[in-house]
Structure 1
């Protein structure tokens, strides 16, 4: 996900986002075909009329003569909008796994009813995009330069020439509450009823979950949480800065293992690369592992050094939703699950 802005970025940097992780390494193996402010697959039918505008996190205002109906969005954004009753026509980004099932970033969407413009980083079918007659293109941003996530740098100008305005929601160097508020505002502009019982209930659940996590962290200050991601040759340890989820966890008091700043420098501040031989460099009681489909999941890690880690032996390895779906409905469980893990964790480091 994010990236060293220096080279905006290397696929490893970019996909390592969120502090995370080594997605880059995993995706690099797939070949090259292929950015601070606070349903059913059908297009949204908001019932609103008249001109539409939305000022995004780049400070740019997207405008249209009417509320967008033909929406194209990064998969995770589409999934968040779906939770607010706004449906898109096309998506780009991890949507379908190799076995044809919905990717974790697709949330509750029925992917069989979506036009997938690209499923991997670097893939974006411009012909299919134009055929959708898009009213707006929406994505997240993992840098402060306005780079739209999963919109290929080499074809962004051609994509822009299709004529649809774009919207960027920042998920960079801020806390989780920032993009949640912005996504809600975007959904409202597109016609969502943000005062509905469903939305109100989800937001209350999120607020309660945050309080629960704060209480769990306060009651268990010695429980160390390491944020990791696995690729074939490298284990990535994320620092808590830059990633919206980790910055929020830290603000709530979670004791996150922090690699020294100098070791994070090579990745633009996101993560430290470790060989599997050195995977025991940091002590941890809980390990949160990148759940994205392009990374190796804990059950599939065969390295002996991994299996010897105290947290692994104690069964204290939990998923990290590295690229959250920014709806209150999807983010509340993230906080609840971490709180529960901290509450029941044994001190093993």
Structure 2
């Protein structure tokens, strides 16, 4: 994956080619008593076919699971408790990175917090039975370093869940299937309630779509405004499937995820609403307001710029909260002349 693509996906747009991601300390390995998954592994065999088409087979259901933070957040909401995580989970001040969702980072081991950081020795010492990660490119596990990929994959089977080319509901469905295979009860009151909220928020979005709002989704960097390309984002695909009219850029950069614009060209696309990236490494709204061309955009002047929470976990809980917040914002918006 090119640095620019990786940078945008991991840190809101290749800000200094990921130099903004300063390394943080690693946690000590979690003990078995504090970081075990919810269900007890049975004696019977376990099988799961991941999105690489790879059929995984083990003599018993894996209990010692290591997961990239996005996957860990999804599995956690389904009741599966990893023993360790890797990828951005702790901010510089020691607080949780939003990407890690509801995961209790005090009860799991941290194998790495930044790109290309993965403590292989610690991973092997944990005696992992399964590694789970998402994929933006089929066959490439997110945040698994290329330099140590072979060693990591020899230690335990790996499962990959594809994020691009699918809607959020499809991705959530795949994590639900994986979680169920690992012992999750998809009929639990908590999951059932969250799914009902997810479905209800989706229906609300369909009603909002009838208003014909033109929506621009973007992320900001010091010198660049990135207009995201809807088909490459599972959450945006869910919005467009609900009928929302999201701007699709005319000229996407290599890789297809976004179009890079200078701030001088921030007015390239007309929009009634702007949804701006609020990931940790993205330019804040206040900082973007210091860009005159952004501040003068009709949607911004009309007070119709709202947060885009691109890090919502792929679970019914995560997306129910995300979409309920989005619905509340979009209900305030109106078509601009």
Same fold by TM-score greater than 0.5: yes
Map Cα deviations across residues 24-49 of structure 1 (whole Å, 9 max, x no partner): 23553347989xxxxx9612041341
Map Cα deviations across residues 80-109 of structure 1 (whole Å, 9 max, x no partner): 111121111111111011111111111112
Deviation at 1:309, TM superposition (A): 1.9
* Residue 134 (structure 1) aligns with: 128
* Residue 212 (structure 1) aligns with: 204
* Residue 236 (structure 2) aligns with: 246
- The question of whether the paired residues in 2 share the 8 Å contact of 1:27 and 1:294 is answered with no
Bigger drift between 309-318 and 75-84 goes to 309-318
Alignment partners' CA distance in 2, 1:227 and 1:52: 41
Alignment partners' CA distance in 2, 1:287 and 1:93: 29
Map 1:193-204 to 2 at 5 A.
193-204=185-196
State whether structure 2 residue 19 is matched by structure 1 residue 29: yes
SS in 1 for 2:218: strand
Map 1:37-116 to 2 at 5 A.
42-50=35-43, 51-116=45-110
* Residue 290 (structure 1) aligns with: 277
Q: Equivalent of 1:150, from 136, 143, 148?
A: 143
Q: Equivalent of 2:260, from 249, 258, 273?
A: 273
Provide closer, same or farther for how the CA distance between residues 33 and 342 of structure 1 changes in structure 2, counting only shifts above 3 A: closer
SS in 2 for 1:227: strand
State whether structure 2 residue 4 is matched by structure 1 residue 16: no
Q: Equivalent of 1:321, from 271, 290, 309?
A: 309
- The question of whether the paired residues in 2 share the 8 Å contact of 1:21 and 1:230 is answered with no
Alignment partners' CA distance in 1, 2:23 and 2:333: 43
* Residue 334 (structure 1) aligns with: 322
Bigger drift between 166-175 and 333-342 goes to 333-342
Query: Any runs of at least 4 consecutive aligned residues in structure 1 with deviations exceeding 3 A, and if so which?
Result: 30-34
**Structure 1 stretches lacking a partner, 5+ long:** 1-8, 35-39
Alignment partners' CA distance in 1, 2:224 and 2:13: 10
- The question of whether the paired residues in 1 share the 8 Å contact of 2:68 and 2:85 is answered with yes
Map 1:226-265 to 2 at 5 A.
226-260=216-250, 263-264=251-252
Deviation at 1:21, TM superposition (A): 8.0
- The question of whether the paired residues in 1 share the 8 Å contact of 2:46 and 2:58 is answered with yes
- The question of whether the paired residues in 1 share the 8 Å contact of 2:41 and 2:62 is answered with no
Alignment partners' CA distance in 2, 1:297 and 1:54: 41
Provide closer, same or farther for how the CA distance between residues 26 and 81 of structure 1 changes in structure 2, counting only shifts above 3 A: farther
Provide closer, same or farther for how the CA distance between residues 109 and 121 of structure 1 changes in structure 2, counting only shifts above 3 A: same
Provide closer, same or farther for how the CA distance between residues 47 and 107 of structure 1 changes in structure 2, counting only shifts above 3 A: same
Deviation at 1:201, TM superposition (A): 1.0
Provide closer, same or farther for how the CA distance between residues 320 and 13 of structure 1 changes in structure 2, counting only shifts above 3 A: same
**Structure 2 stretches lacking a partner, 5+ long:** 25-32
Q: Aligned pair count?
A: 327
SS in 2 for 1:12: helix
Provide closer, same or farther for how the CA distance between residues 274 and 106 of structure 1 changes in structure 2, counting only shifts above 3 A: same
Q: TM-score, normalised by structure 2?
A: 0.91
Deviation at 1:333, TM superposition (A): 2.2
Alignment partners' CA distance in 2, 1:12 and 1:316: 29
